[in-house]
Amino acid sequence: MLGDVRSPSVIVIGAGIGGLSAAIALAARGFRVTVLEKLDRPGGKMGEVRAEGFRWDSGPSVITMRPVYERLFRAAGRDVRDYVEFVPLRPVTRYFWRDGVVLDAVTDEDEMAAAIERQFGKRDAEGYRRFMQYARRLHDIVAAPFLYRHKPTLRDLVRLPIADVLKIDALRTMHQAIRTFFDAPHLVQLFCRFATYNGSSPYRAPATLNVIAHVEMAQGAWYPRGGVFQLARAYERLACELGVEVRYSTPAAEILVTNGTAVGVRTAEGQTLNAEAVVCNVDYTFARQTLLPSNGKRQPLEPSCSGFVLLLGVRGRFDALAHHNIFFTDDYPCEFADIFDRCLPPSDPTLYLCVTSKTDPEHAPPGYENWFVLVNAPYLSPAFDWRSQGEHYAEHIKAKLMAWLERICGVHPEFVVERRLTPQDLQDLYGGHRGAIYGFSSNTRLAAFARPNNRDPQIRRLYFASGSVHPGGGVPLVTLSGLAAARCIEEDLC
């Protein structure tokens, strides 16, 4: 098929990370690909905001699983290093607790263990080493069959050696497993935080997700020079070099289906585009509700958490802060109960603060810093109206942030620029169902098996690539989702 001018044509709806990775993989295999994007830029939720001399990433803020990007570019005959510079983060994250404890997380296991021993004692340092061995073992078992291949089935699970099935640790929650390794509640809280990387609760999600700790703490974390949005630009550049046609400001209105087969897309302007296959890089539930004929079925999975974001231009330089910072609440269980049980934004939340001007000084004017503040928030529900209550919550979060900085630095930050994104904005701007960032949560033992497939089970030649389908949310997994969709198309059309 390669080089054949009659090679199959594919339409990709959405120029987010999943859509572009699918387009790249398909174009590299000789398919004719057209991408339709309603925004005027690539990246989807991976965006950027510029205002009054400040620049912020408005979506993902850290890059893990670097080999995934290397694999994508290598499959197209390129080297990712020619497109984006990955800066290793040191520390990966600086953690703060209200009792005055501060801990820098680093990827070197010996250095991290030494820091834990100085802060919490030898027993917890040994527990850290055992935990990392445990997380590495999880990765070795689940990565190949469950992340880099097709959507896993229960049949795939039972085909694993019985010893490996037991080692997956799916019967405990993340929190139940983590607390067996550490005495210090600080460390239990630190490693429970990784549940939020796919929008879940550590008190509900299966312990299998402790694999995330290995991904970040052992494999490393990076920042693309210039901002995480540069990765979206790199995908866009590569796609265009391969001949992909990207049409911005062109929203799709309908996926056209004839005799049970996807045959093209109708745009919002009424243009009909025919194709042999369609890839939908749109939230799965949103696509079902707006782009396809209603089949009366509802997706039973719980949405992931959402997020409340403040983009702040701040006067002054704060040396106590790192590139990534976490300010922990004293009551972590209450925070997740607020989010998933009461569907209310936490009154005393953990605050995540990213300051890219620490690495890229030009992201803020001299003498200023750019602060990206993220608070985990519930998916949209009648329990809280962000349109009427968002401003009040923003003031509440800024007060919490100022209290932390006064405690750490002895000064109140002065905010000179402010922008915000609420869960309502995430739904309105990006079509995220109920404002969920990661599609569906992993708050049940079988969530990985219930997550929608990359190949539609009912409509032929319709495929999905997003954080709401296999293998899940987050930049590397969404990239893998695009690769999986492309692989399905190649299997079906070639």
Going across the sheet that includes 272-274, the strands are: 252-258, 261-267, 272-274
Residue 144 has pLDDT above 90, yes or no: no
Q: Where exactly does CATH 3.50.50.60 map onto the chain?
A: 9-46+64-85+227-301+444-493
- The 10s digit of each residue's pLDDT in 396-439 is 999 999 999 999 998 889 999 999 999 999 999 999 999 999 99
Question: Quick one: which of 268, 236, 266 has its CA closest to 251?
Answer: 268
Among candidate residues 34, 11, 72, 85, the one with its CA nearest the CA of residue 240 = 34
Average pLDDT of the segment spanning 126-143: 94
pLDDT above 50 (res 261): yes
pLDDT at 31: 97
| Top-confidence residue, 306 or 169 | 306
Q: Which whole number is the average pLDDT over 85-90?
A: 96
pLDDT of residue 295: 60
Contact between 320 and 89 (Cβ < 8 Å): no
pLDDT beyond 70 at 164: no
Per-residue confidence at 168, pLDDT binned at 50, 70, 90?
confident
Check if the beta carbon of residue 473 is closer than 8 Å to that of residue 438: yes
Q: Higher-confidence residue: 393 or 3?
A: 393
Residue 293 has what pLDDT? 82
In tens, the pLDDT along 327-362 reads 999 999 999 999 999 999 999 999 999 999 999 999
Backbone phi, then psi, for 50, in 5-degree steps?
-125, 135
**Exposure letters 161-186 (e unless 16+ CB within 10 A, then b):** eeeeeebbbbebbbbebbbebbebeb
Share of the chain above pLDDT 90, in %: 87
- Rounded to whole angstroms, the Cα distance separating 137 from 82 reads 33
> With 80 as the cut, is the pLDDT of residue 131 above it?
yes
65: exposed, middle or buried (Cβ count in 10 Å: 0-12, 13-18, 19+): buried
Q: Is-contact 72 258, C-beta < 8 A? A: no
What is the phi-psi region of residue 294: left when phi exceeds 0, alpha when psi lies from -120 to 50, beta otherwise? beta
Class of domain 9-46+64-85+227-301+444-493: alpha beta
- CA nearest to 484, candidates 494, 470, 474, 468: 470
98 close to 116: Cβ distance less than 8 angstroms: no
Rounded distance between C-alpha atoms, residue 446 and residue 469, angstroms = 14
Mean pLDDT across 74-90: 97
Of the candidate ranges 155-164, 234-243, 268-277, the one whose mean pLDDT is the lowest: 155-164
pLDDT at residue 7, as a whole number = 77
pLDDT band with cut points at 50, 70 and 90 for residue 3: very low
State how far the Cα of 308 lies from the Cα of 104, in Å rounded to an integer: 25
pLDDT, average across residues 173-181: 98
| Mean pLDDT of the 302-317 span | 97
Phi–psi pair at 324, nearest 5 degrees: -115, 135
**Band of residue 450 on the pLDDT scale cut at 50, 70, 90:** confident
pLDDT above 50 (res 2): no
Round to whole Å and give the CA distance between 331 and 376: 14
Whole-model pTM?
Answer: 0.95
Would you say residue 151 has pLDDT above 70? no
Cis-peptide, bond into residue 471, ω within 30° of zero: yes
- Find all residues with CB under 8 Å of 289, minimum gap 6, and list them: 433
